[in-house]
Amino acid sequence: MSKILVVEDDNILAKAVNTTLVDEGFETLIAVDGEDALVKAKQFKPDLVLLDLLMPKKSGEEVLADMKKDDELRDIPVLISTVKSDPESVARCTALGIQGYFIKAHYTLDDIVKEVNKVLGEKKR
Amino acid sequence: MHKKEGGNKIKHKRNKHGLLLSKCMAEHVNGNCHLFRLLFEYSPNPIFLETLSGKIMDCNRAAERTLGYTKEELLNFKKEELLPKNKRKFFPQIIKKIINNGSAVFECENVRKDGTIIPVEAHYKLMHQEGKPIVFAVIIDISHHKKIEDDLRASEENFKKIFNKSAVGIVLVGLDFKFLQANKAAVDIWGYSEKELKKMTFVDLTHPDEIARDKEQIKRLLKGEISVYKVEKRYIRKDGEIIWGAVNVSMVYSVENKPLYFVTTVEDITKKKLSSEGLKDLQIKYSTVVEQSNDGIIVIQDGVVRFFNRMMLAMTGYSRKKIIGKSFLDFIAPKYKKLVADRYAKRLRGVKVPSRYEFEILSKNGKTVPVEINSSQIFFEGRPAILAILRDMTNAREAAEALKLVSIRQEAILAAIPDIVMEVDVKKVYKWANQMGYDFFGSDVIGKQASHYFIGTQETYKIVEPVFVGRKDFIYVESWQRRKDGEKRLLAWWSRVLKDKNGNVTGVLSTARDITEHRKIEQELVRERELYTSLVENSNDGIAILQDDVIKFFNKQIFVMIGYTEVEAFGKPFINFVSDKDKKIVLERFKSRVLGKKVEPRYEVELIKKDGKVLPVEMNASLVNFEGRPAVMSVIRDITKAKEIDKMKSEFVSVASHQLRTPLTGIKWFTELLVGNKSGELSAKQKDYVDQIAIGTNRMINLVDDLLDVSHIEAGEKYGVVLKKQDISDIPKEIIRDQSIQAKSKKVGLELDQDCPSEVIIRADKSKLAQVFENLISNAIKYTPSGGKITIGCKKGEGGVIYFVRDNGVGIPARQMNRLFERFFRGDNVMTTEQGTGLGLYIAKYIVTKHGGKIWCESVENKGSTFYVFLPTV
């Protein structure tokens, strides 16, 4: 059973995503800010991180950068799920290394599940 | 009857008046005592016999009549006492001349008893009586001749006065444009002597820029299309200096109405005032004597000539024999015979007829000689006769003719002078006016007080007083005067003193010009200038005029904005004040604008303030004419605040939109969870309600997306359109696929035109272009009622491709077409029926423009709309 770390500071959104992923049979853990995300990523060792960008303490971009510097975390696939839609944010994240970029509100939960499955499927292969 | 002088002894005898009858007189006429007594007494001219010391020994009736003294009074006089006091010193010279030459003729003045002075011509002859010298003096009253002479002089002087003393330059210019005559003022204005001017044409003096216009106007003047050519123009002085003249040119015509020459008046308005120096008092002294008097004397009795003097011989050319005893009528020109005979007869009958008149006598060679006769009745040999003194008027006639000719010429010039010329006497009464003067004040102006024409209380008399008392030669004054039609006009007067030869002020000669309109325009200009100055200087926008790369004008606000002083900014290249990053565009636009090319007037640049800080401004530049050449006027607005506000607004919209996205996502996702039956089966009604929530949420998400786009567009950042060469032919297909569900649910047909090219390669940002098509197609679905049809097509055009989205929906009201692509625009006809942000087309236009393309629309309300997008191909 694949493990997914849901990094989301908004309770409501975290609940919606978490509920969906659990229903889909994933094992999940929720982190509520950037620092929490890094700590939990090390402990939980997820197969995929669903990462918000605008967060307290440490932004998603910083978390991503730290992960890429960390040998343990470097290879964990990351999907960004954020309200930020500017091309610069997309470009910076892409440069650091991500598997996908969702602009919240533009995507359905179903879209996210499909993408998660796709990324994890590729990883298995 | 004539005896030789010498041996005769004629006794001294006292006549009934107890007066001395001169022996020499008797000697002179060979004893014809009685005749000479008669001639002496009845001569119309005063005759005196006097000693060399000037004591009057005898005089005739004419002397009494002319001088107003009785004979007794005169006999107690010394002759010199008849002269005006200031002339008595010349008397010894007269006597000396008589002694040396035996005779003399002088023109002088005699003082009458009543104090009046009469001009006289005195003929002296030295004779001897009993070995003692005696002076025989005939005095001829020449007031009449003086008058002709004075008229001639006055007329000549009037012209000369106007011509020479005018403070305004006057020149006569020939039809070949050569100067014929120039007055002193003209010489002063141009710096060339009259002699030099006579070798020049007005073209040589005129500023090159003005020649063509002058020639054209003078052509019109010659054709008679205009009567006066008035202009303010530039001349080049001899010293090279450019001066301004207010010029009036008019034509002088001959009696046959042929153009003779131009009269041009020039006022130097370079300094708007005339120099009072340099104009010398040019008193012209005339020493012209119209004629030298030599009168013929003739006595006629019973119609025949009984006596005549030598002068008559000279005048007629006949010999003595041919005259004496002949009818006087034989010597009169046929056309005067009747007149003279008639008067002769009347006079003999005692009827009063003019004693003085003119006619013509016949001379021996058949020529007629004009004469003036001064006749009176006498008793000759005890019977009535006529004594006639004839004066040869040939010279006077010629003088009169000459005067007439001169007058015609001068009158023509004066009439042609397009300024008012007036003369007042010392009492400020108008004495003389030219045609313009009459035209202005009316034909009855002569004899009127100057103040009669004043309007309102005026200081004019006070101002010109120094001229009248002789303290100043020239004064300029402006005053309001009543024109003959009652209208109030402002006249500019150049007043110059007139003096007689003794230096006494006799009056003032003034040239006047109606400057009412001129002044009105001047005041208008001043008012306008004040208005503009106040507008420009009080403007909150900076205003600059740039010419030849430098700053020609800055208003106060610019100094406030950039912190430089006038001295630091004027004449400096304006590019110095522009930030490095904007220098290129500012210079390019300036150059194109000056060349008259169409350049976007409004753009934003950054200026560098004196303290080195950057000042963001919006320029609104336009091509203007400054000092006759193209320049750029820039209205510069400080947009620091506006920029800040814009930034804040964009930031606010950005933050707000981001913040909105989070809760919207929550609603969207939980709705999705509800619909997806993850929490149990929903009833049909519940499902419908949840669907409505989903639709509403999506709308809100779209609105937030649009707002974010707009805030990015306006911030000029984060909305980068990245162009990449690629095929875009699949975009419309994808959008049609995405939107087909919506179209179907509204029962609107949505199809792609068959003729679309299979490949369209351009430089494009695909995701942004997709947004354009999405906006256009979703609009078309929204505004097309059920049963309608939407077609998307594409065709290759010149230099690019044209996409179109055509519907047969509600269309756009014609009056609103021009606002279609504005922010938040929504058609009146859909405002209440359809949801929308009014941002879709604004964003679409921005994207298309960034692709170097164009977007436009054709629409008929209730028929449908077609939107076109042109995109340039690679």
Q: Of A16, A104, A105, which has the smallest distance from its Cβ to B670's Cβ?
A: A16
Cβ of B678 and A106 within 8 Å? no
Alpha helices in B263-393 (DSSP H): 310-316, 320-323, 334-348
| B222 lies in the same domain as B313 | no
* B685 CB-side CA count, 13 A: 0
> What band does B21 get if pLDDT is binned at 50, 70 and 90?
very low
Residues from chain B contacting residue A112 (CB–CB below 8 Å): none
The better pLDDT of the pair B353, B491 is held by B491
Indicate if the pLDDT at residue B277 is higher than 60. no
Min mean pLDDT across B29-38, B320-329, B762-771, B823-832 is at B29-38
Within-domain flag for B135: yes
Confidence (pLDDT) at B806: 93
| B633 lies in the same domain as B648 | no
| B217 lies in the same domain as B325 | no
Indicate if the pLDDT at residue B287 is higher than 50. no
Which of B638, B668, B687 finishes a domain? B638
Q: Compute and round to an integer the Cα radius of gyration of chain B.
A: 54
Q: How far apart are CA A52 and CA A33, in angstroms?
A: 9
Distances (CA, A) of B252 to B172, B407, B408, B413, B511: 9, 14, 11, 6, 19
Q: Could you tell me what percent of chain B has a pLDDT over 90?
A: 5
Residues in contact with A103: Cβ distance below 8 Å, sequence separation at least 6, in sequence order:
A82, A83, A84, A85, B661
Q: Give the pLDDT confidence of B507-550 residue by residue, as tens digits.
A: 888 888 888 888 888 888 888 888 877 777 777 888 888 888 88
User: Strand B474-482 vs strand B430-433: parallel, antiparallel, or unpaired?
Assistant: unpaired
Within-domain flag for B8: no
Residue of B nearest to A14 (CA): B666
On whether any CB of chain B is under 8 Å from the CB of A12, the answer is yes
Q: Give the pLDDT confidence of B122-177 residue by residue, as tens digits.
A: 888 888 777 788 888 888 877 766 666 666 666 666 677 667 777 788 888 888 88
Determine the residue among B661, B713, B766 to mutate to test chain A binding: the one whose Cβ has the most chain A Cβ atoms within 10 Å: B661
Determine the residue among A19, A84, A85, A111 to mutate to test chain B binding: the one whose Cβ has the most chain B Cβ atoms within 10 Å: A85
The helix/strand/coil state of A107 is: coil
| B87 lies in the same domain as B193 | no
CA distance B718 to chain A (A): 6
Cβ of A16 and B664 within 8 Å? no
CA distance A47 to chain B (A): 24
Nearest in space to B187 (alpha carbons), one of B176, B198, B177, B178: B198
Within-domain flag for B397: no
Which of B485, B520, B555 finishes a domain? B520
**H or E element in which residue B857 lies:** strand B854-860
Confidence (pLDDT) at B482: 92
Domain with residue B776: its CATH number is 3.30.565.10
Confidence (pLDDT) at B371: 83
Residue of B nearest to A103 (CA): B661
What does pLDDT average to over chain B? 80
The residue whose two tokens read 């499902």 is: B687
Residues from chain B contacting residue A23 (CB–CB below 8 Å): 678
| B474 lies in the same domain as B559 | no
CA distance B704 to chain A (A): 10
Within-domain flag for B410: no
Cβ of A104 and B708 within 8 Å? no
Residue of A nearest to B708 (CA): A85
CA distance A85 to chain B (A): 9
Confidence (pLDDT) at A28: 93
User: Range of B474's domain?
Assistant: 419-520
Indicate if the pLDDT at residue B647 is higher than 80. no
The better pLDDT of the pair B230, B323 is held by B230
On whether any CB of chain B is under 8 Å from the CB of A13, the answer is yes
On whether any CB of chain B is under 8 Å from the CB of A105, the answer is yes
Q: Could you tell me what percent of chain B has a pLDDT over 70?
A: 87
The better pLDDT of the pair B605, B352 is held by B605
Confidence (pLDDT) at B27: 47
Min mean pLDDT across B221-225, B255-259, B502-506, B729-733 is at B255-259
Residue of B nearest to A54 (CA): B658
Nearest in space to B421 (alpha carbons), one of B514, B511, B508, B494: B511
pLDDT in tens, chain A (125 residues): 889 999 998 888 899 899 889 988 899 999 989 899 999 999 998 999 999 988 888 899 999 999 999 888 888 999 999 888 777 888 899 998 899 898 888 888 888 899 899 888 876 55
Confidence (pLDDT) at A7: 93
Domains of chain A, first to last: 3-124 (3.40.50.2300)
Residue of B nearest to A13 (CA): B666
Residues from chain A contacting residue B673 (CB–CB below 8 Å): 16, 19-20, 109
CB contact residues (below 8 A), chain A span 39-98, against chain B: 54, 83-88
Q: How far apart are CA B453 and CA B445, in angstroms?
A: 9
Indicate if the pLDDT at residue B427 is higher than 80. yes
Residues in contact with B40: Cβ distance below 8 Å, sequence separation at least 6, in sequence order:
B21, B25, B47, B60
Confidence (pLDDT) at B271: 64
Q: Of B664, B673, B708, which has the smallest distance from its Cβ to A85's Cβ?
A: B708
Q: Centre a 10 Å sphere on the Cβ of residue B616 and count the other Cβ atoms it contains.
A: 17
Q: Of A83, A88, A105, which has the smallest distance from its Cβ to B668's Cβ?
A: A105
Alpha helices in B385-542 (DSSP H): 394-416, 435-441, 460-468, 516-538
Within-domain flag for B831: yes
Confidence (pLDDT) at B53: 82
Domain with residue B131: its CATH number is 3.30.450.20
Confidence (pLDDT) at B137: 84
Q: Of B664, B673, B718, which has the smallest distance from its Cβ to A105's Cβ?
A: B664
User: Strand B47-50 vs strand B56-59: parallel, antiparallel, or unpaired?
Assistant: antiparallel
On whether any CB of chain B is under 8 Å from the CB of A122, the answer is no
| B710 lies in the same domain as B730 | no
Residue of A nearest to B676 (CA): A110
Average pLDDT rounded to a whole number, residues B257-268:
83
The token duo for A68 is: 């890429």
CA distance B665 to chain A (A): 5
Within-domain flag for B785: yes
The better pLDDT of the pair B550, B319 is held by B550
Confidence (pLDDT) at B26: 42
Determine the residue among A104, A107, A113 to mutate to test chain B binding: the one whose Cβ has the most chain B Cβ atoms within 10 Å: A104
Residues in contact with B324: Cβ distance below 8 Å, sequence separation at least 6, in sequence order:
B305, B306, B308
> What band does B274 get if pLDDT is binned at 50, 70 and 90?
very low
Residue of A nearest to B701 (CA): A105
Cβ of A104 and B661 within 8 Å? yes
Asked whether the beta carbons of B717 and B655 are under 8 A apart, the reply is no
Which of B94, B119, B141 finishes a domain? B141
Cβ of A12 and B663 within 8 Å? yes
Residues from chain A contacting residue B658 (CB–CB below 8 Å): 54, 83-84
Indicate if the pLDDT at residue B1 is higher than 90. no
Q: How far apart are CA B60 and CA B712, in angstroms?
A: 127
Residues from chain A contacting residue B668 (CB–CB below 8 Å): 105, 108
Min mean pLDDT across B17-26, B34-43, B275-284, B562-571 is at B275-284
CA distance A73 to chain B (A): 28
> What band does B396 get if pLDDT is binned at 50, 70 and 90?
low
* pTM value surpassing 0.80: no
Cβ of A16 and B676 within 8 Å? no
DSSP-derived secondary structure letter, B164: I
Min mean pLDDT across A7-16, B188-197, B369-378, B625-634 is at B369-378
Confidence (pLDDT) at B30: 46
| B47 lies in the same domain as B97 | yes
Within-domain flag for B530: no
Q: Of A16, A83, A104, which has the smallest distance from its Cβ to B673's Cβ?
A: A16
Q: How far apart are CA B648 and CA B658, in angstroms?
A: 15
Cβ of A104 and B672 within 8 Å? no
**H or E element in which residue B679 lies:** none
Residues from chain B contacting residue A109 (CB–CB below 8 Å): 669, 672-673
Within-domain flag for B423: yes
Q: What total of structural domains would you count in chain B?
A: 7
Cβ of B672 and A109 within 8 Å? yes
The token duo for B394 is: 């040939």
Average pLDDT rounded to a whole number, residues B234-254:
82
| B78 lies in the same domain as B180 | no
Q: How far apart are CA B208 and CA B239, in angstroms?
A: 16
Q: How far apart are CA B204 and CA B199, in angstroms?
A: 10
Confidence (pLDDT) at A43: 92
| B113 lies in the same domain as B213 | no
Residues from chain A contacting residue B720 (CB–CB below 8 Å): 87
| B364 lies in the same domain as B499 | no
Min mean pLDDT across B147-156, B259-268, B547-556, B762-771 is at B147-156
Residue of A nearest to B657 (CA): A83
Alpha helices in B478-565 (DSSP H): 516-538, 556-562
Cβ of A13 and B665 within 8 Å? yes
| B736 lies in the same domain as B803 | yes
On whether any CB of chain B is under 8 Å from the CB of A25, the answer is no
User: Strand B800-807 vs strand B864-872: parallel, antiparallel, or unpaired?
Assistant: antiparallel
Nearest in space to B480 (alpha carbons), one of B470, B490, B493, B471: B490
Residues from chain B contacting residue A50 (CB–CB below 8 Å): none
| Interface pTM, i.e. ipTM | 0.86
Q: How far apart are CA A107 and CA A86, in angstroms?
A: 16
Cβ of A12 and B666 within 8 Å? yes
Cβ of B658 and A12 within 8 Å? no
Residue of B nearest to A87 (CA): B718
Asked whether the beta carbons of B391 and B293 are under 8 A apart, the reply is yes
CA distance B664 to chain A (A): 7
Residue of A nearest to B768 (CA): A87
Q: How far apart are CA B245 and CA B230, in angstroms?
A: 10
| B622 lies in the same domain as B649 | no
